[in-house]
A and B are shown apart, each in its own frame.
Chain A
Amino acid sequence: MPEISNKISQINFHITRYNPETDRVPYVKTYQVPARAGMTVLDGLHYIKDNLDSTLAWRYSCRMGICGSCGMLLNGRPGLACNTQILGIADTDLTVAALPNFPIIRDLVPDLWTMLDKHRSIKPYIIRADETELNDPSGEFFQSPEQLEAYLQFSYCIKCGCCMGACPTLATDLHYLGPMPLTAAQRYNSDTRDDGRRQRNSVTGAKDGVFRCHYAGECSRVCPKGVDPAKALQLLKRGLVLDYLHVGHHSEPCKKLQGPGRGQPLEGISPVPDRTV
């Protein structure tokens, strides 16, 4: 087993601070943090909060790259503070700032509502014509592994906003929907259980929609979950054009599972527990 170095390096954290209630403009404050191998930026921020400056504000929750709360700008590149090791990106100096392209609530806390409102506008959920079945399902819908593969990687998005922070188009046009909501639209458009593509087309194909994308590809480079939003946006463009030209394949949303139980519970298998909500 390789030995982990216990060497401690002094890293200067140059943190952009901003309190809209007291500061006119953001300013940079420097803190010295003793860092050793394995320490994440989030650990460094905790060290500052516990030992140097209790007023520093940031957002975090899971500490394991799942919740997407701690997205911030680390050495000029959006990333998650919890899965970025200090010594992996800094020798002596590390700049930390709130994610760009978002209003700042305080210090390193961006206001993600602009992103979440856009996300809501593309209807990020399964839409089906048979609404009764959707709300009160009587069985399973069939989906093959290949059909699952079509959208699986896009469903890994954790809504951290790193792609939105890296997007050069969003930096100049805050009305642009941005990579995260558009990737979510593609995720549901390519889901065979869904029948809401045309509803989403009116949003994704609008003035502030996917055609504003310049295909810079920064969204895919910074995504901490390995999602490829740039690809999703190109697929979304293709889908819009094919729909407009009426040359795309218009498959019906998938039907109920026609397997051994024909969508009904098999004998000997316990029924699903009653709903609690």
Chain B
Amino acid sequence: MNETKYWTWHMGAGAILLFLLGSHMLIMHIGGLVHWFSPYGGEAISVKNSLFRDSSLYFAVGYVLLLGIALYHGLCGLRTVLFELTLKPAVERAVTVFLWILGLGLCGLGTWAALAAHRTALLGAGG
């Protein structure tokens, strides 16, 4: 049943990614035009607009979620591709452990970055 767990969460993560990544793409590409989470107009990726979004807890949590779910979905897919190489069981276990460590490490780093940006934005907003 182990593969069932991986596959189920992989599919679930894919479904959530559709929403999170879709929102992210919309905000990045048309947010600036329609002032959607980009109150200062212009480019959605301008410093002012970015700081506005970073100061929101909703966005901080959203970034961490997007990162964690994308990492799980991507690395799980990579694991499946690697397993297609018909590796030995010991190598498969090592690959799984390595990808978990890599994923958790990157997720930790990204979470720290998102929270740091949130804190910085709040400090900036406070003057």
A-to-B contact residues, CB < 8 Å: 172-175, 201-202, 205-207, 209, 211, 237, 240-241, 243-245
Chain B, residue nearest A207 (CB): B3
Size class of the B contact interface (CB-based, 8 Å): 10 to 19
- Please determine whether B84 and A172 come into contact, CB atoms closer than 8 angstroms: yes
* Min C-beta distance of B87 to chain A, whole Å: 10
Closest B residue to A241 by CB, please name it: B8
Measured between beta carbons, the chain A residues less than 8 angstroms from B5 are 244
Which of B1, B11, B84, B86 has a CB less than 8 Å from the CB of A205?
B1
Decide yes or no whether B92 CB sits under 8 A from chain A.
yes
Closest residue of chain B to A175 (Cβ to Cβ) is: B86
Question: Considering the chains assembled together, what is the distance between the CA atoms of A98 and B86 in angstroms?
Answer: 24
Decide if A209 touches B3 in the complex (CB within 8 Å): yes
| A161 nearest CB across to chain B (Å) | 20
B7 interface residue per 8 A CB criterion: yes
CB distance from B83 to the nearest CB of A (A): 8
Residues of A within 8 A of B2 (CB): 205-207
Mark interface residues in B24-65 (1 if CB within 8 Å of A CB, else 0): 000000000000000000000000000000000000000000
A-B contact pairs, 6 of them (CB 8 A): A201-B4, A241-B7, A241-B11, A244-B1, A244-B5, A244-B8
B84 touches A240 (CB 8 A): no
- B4 adjacent to A205 (CB under 8 Å): yes
| Contact in complex: A206, B84 (CB < 8 Å) | no
A207 touches B4 (CB 8 A): no
B86–A172 CB distance below 8 A: yes
Which residues in B have their C-beta under 8 angstroms from that of A173?
A: 84, 86
| A241, B4: Cβ atoms closer than 8 Å | yes
In the complex, chain B residues whose CB is within 8 Å of the CB of A207: 2-3, 83, 92
Q: Which residues of A contact B86 (CB under 8 A)?
A: 172-175
Instruction: State in angstroms the CA–CA spacing of A244 and B2 once bound together.
Output: 10
Mark contacts of B1-24 with chain A using CB atoms, 8 A cut-off: 1 yes-contact digit, 0 otherwise. 111111110010000000000000
Q: In the complex, are the beta carbons of A201 and B7 less than 8 A apart?
A: no
Question: When the two chains form the complex, which single residue of B1, B83, B92 contacts A240, counting CB atoms closer than 8 Å?
Answer: B1
Query: Quick one: which of A172, A175, A209, A245 contacts B8, CB cutoff 8 A?
Result: A245
- Compute how far the CA of A114 lies from the CA of B88 in the bound complex, rounded to whole angstroms: 19
User: What's the minimum C-beta distance from A239 to chain B, rounded to whole angstroms?
Assistant: 10
B84 touching A244 by the CB < 8 A rule? no
CA distance A207 to B86 in the complex (A): 11
A206 with B3, Cβ < 8 A, contacts A172-B84, A173-B86, A175-B86 known: yes
Is A211's CB under 8 angstroms from B84's CB? no
Q: How far is the CA of A241 from the CA of B9 in the complex (A)?
A: 10
B92 pairs with A211, CB closer than 8 A: no
Smallest Cβ-Cβ distance to A214: which chain B residue: B84
Complex contacts, B4 vs chain A, CB 8 Å = 201, 205, 211, 240-241, 243-244
A209 to B83 alpha-carbon distance, docked (Å): 13
Complex-state Cα separation, A206 to B86, whole angstroms:
14
With both chains docked as a complex, state the minimum distance between the C-beta of A147 and any C-beta of chain B, in angstroms.
25
A245 to B5, CA, bound (A): 9
Which B residue sits closest to A208, measured CB to CB? B3
Q: Which residues of B contact A205 (CB under 8 A)?
A: 1-4
Neighbouring B residues of A206 by C-beta, 8 Å: 1-3
Q: How far is the CB of B78 from chain A (nearest CB, A)?
A: 15
* Extra 15 A-B pairs, beta carbons < 8 Å, given A201-B1, A207-B3, A209-B3: A172-B84, A172-B86, A173-B84, A205-B1, A205-B2, A205-B4, A206-B1, A206-B2, A207-B92, A237-B7, A241-B4, A241-B7, A244-B4, A244-B8, A245-B8
Chain A residues near B83 (CB-CB < 8 A): 207
- Nearest Cβ distance between residue B44 and chain A, in whole angstroms? 37
| Smallest Cβ-Cβ distance to B6: which chain A residue | A211
How distant is A149 from chain B, measured CB to nearest CB, in Å?
Answer: 26
